[in-house]
Amino acid sequence: MNCQQAMILISGKLDGELDPRQEELLDEHLQQCADCRQEYDELLRIKEATNDMRFTDLPDRMWAGYWNGIYNRLERGMGWLLFSLGAIVLLAFGVWNMLESFFMDSSIPVVVRFGVGTLITGAVILLVSIVRERLFLRKHERYDEVQR
Amino acid sequence: MNTDDTNLIKKCCMGETGSFQVLVERYKKSAYHYALAFVGNTDDAYDLSQEAFIHAYRALKRYDGKHSFRSWFFAILSNLCKNALRSRKVRRKFMISDVAVIIEEVPAKSGPVEEYRGKVIKKLIWDALATLDDDAREIIILKHFQDMSYQEIAEIMKIPVGTVMSRLHYARLRLKKQIEVMNK
């Protein structure tokens, strides 16, 4: 075993993740190599120090309200969803009525009606495209975009 | 895999919210401590750990049971923490050094000198940890503070089990180097 191989296995030894054969080979190497031994001792000291580190716990009242906080946020999420859905339905109805009366109004020049029509069509295509992209990302892996 | 968790998830998918509460009670402290080690301040850690449970609840139907719930949940939490740090870089710089609030004072058995030395070492480790990049910090927190197995770490970080040992080693070397630099 050379030092480069030993260095990687040192972490496995610290964490108790080596199989007996690897452990035996590494121990042999550590007995012969002072540099690797020193590296092992230093990393062991860091590991022991972190083992002694304990996070300060939160006050009991914070833990008592923990689940309620989650439940309330979930409930509010559902409320927002229904609210948004209702708003979209009403808005769509209003817009439809408005457009219907606009396009049926013969006093408005055809060119204006045509311009508004293409503008709306373009906006709908853009919206559908964005929604479809969002749905695709959601269906696959939501957190894929996070760089590691 | 914890079969009890799987049963709870099944019940939850059938509409029993109480089952999810059991999961929350089971993992809330480790989730909070993980977020705390990651983002470095108590308020954000509390919020992020709750947010992770909310995300998990909404995605529960997509949980395929290939990995343990713990690994699956911590992968969500980990990504939330990384995203939060990205959007709150400045805030983190101010908050993360508050080690006295975060790390519990454990009286040393061998006297005040050792106790003081222990405090200094903890502060050094904490400060050095804060300087590491997200990936290195993540793997060190998962191993040193959550005591997860290499298998679980691989599932959370979505890397092969064989890669965990080398990644962890290089992260530890960087941590050690930072400690040496700060100790000069």
How would you write the pLDDT of chain B (184 residues) with one tens digit per residue? 565 888 888 888 887 888 889 999 999 999 999 998 888 888 889 999 999 999 999 888 888 878 888 999 999 999 999 888 887 654 554 455 455 556 665 665 666 676 677 777 878 888 888 888 888 999 999 998 888 999 999 999 989 988 999 899 999 999 999 888 887 7
Predicted confidence (pLDDT) per residue in A86-134, tens digit: 999 999 999 889 888 888 888 889 899 899 999 999 999 999 999 999 8
Which among A137, B66, B157 is positioned nearest to B166, based on CA atoms?
B157
Q: CA–CA distance from B105 to each of B101, B123, B178 (Å)?
A: 9, 12, 23
Q: Which of B37, B104, B172 sits opposite A56 (nearest CB)?
A: B104
CB B106 within 8 A of CB A52: yes
At A56, the pLDDT band (50, 70, 90 cuts) reads confident
**Contact at CB, B54 and A77, closer than 8 angstroms:** yes
Q: How many CB atoms lie within 10 A of CB A121?
A: 10
What percent of chain A is modeled with pLDDT above 90? Answer: 36
Chain B residues 132-161 with a CB less than 8 Å from chain A: 134-135, 143-145, 149-150, 157-158
Chain A residues 79-108 with a CB less than 8 Å from chain B: none
Predicted TM-score (pTM) of this structure:
0.75
Mean per-residue pLDDT, A18-35: 91
Residue A87, token pair as written in the block: 């708003």
**Contact at CB, A56 and B106, closer than 8 angstroms:** no
Which among B104, B123, B105 is positioned nearest to B183, based on CA atoms?
B123
**What pLDDT is stored for residue B180 in this prediction?**
87
DSSP A92-127: HHHHHHHHHHHHH-TTS-HHHHHHHHHHHHHHHHHH
Give the chain B residue whose CA is nearest to the CA of A9: B165
Residue B105, token pair as written in the block: 């004072």
Please tell me the distance from the alpha carbon of residue A46 to that of residue B76, in angstroms, as a whole number: 28
CB B171 within 8 A of CB A47: no
Please tell me the distance from the alpha carbon of residue B100 to that of residue B77, in angstroms, as a whole number: 24
Provide φ and ψ at B41, rounded to 5°.
-145, 150
**What pLDDT is stored for residue B32 in this prediction?**
93
Strand, helix or coil for residue B104: coil
B72 lies within 8 A of chain A by CB? no
Residue B11, token pair as written in the block: 């019940």
Interface confidence (ipTM) of the complex: 0.77
Q: CA–CA distance from B53 to each of B11, B65, B77 (Å)?
A: 16, 17, 8
**What pLDDT is stored for residue B107 in this prediction?**
61
H-type alpha helices, A15-65: 20-32, 34-52, 60-64
**Contact at CB, A55 and B101, closer than 8 angstroms:** no
Contacts of A62 in chain B (CB under 8 A): 46
Please give, one letter per residue, the 3-state secondary structure of B129-142: HHHCCHHHHHHHHH
CB B70 within 8 A of CB B126: no
**What pLDDT is stored for residue B97 in this prediction?**
46
CB B84 within 8 A of CB B78: no
Please tell me the distance from the alpha carbon of residue B118 to that of residue B174, in angstroms, as a whole number: 21
Largest CA distance in chain B: 58
Residue A29, token pair as written in the block: 């190497």
**What pLDDT is stored for residue B13 in this prediction?**
82
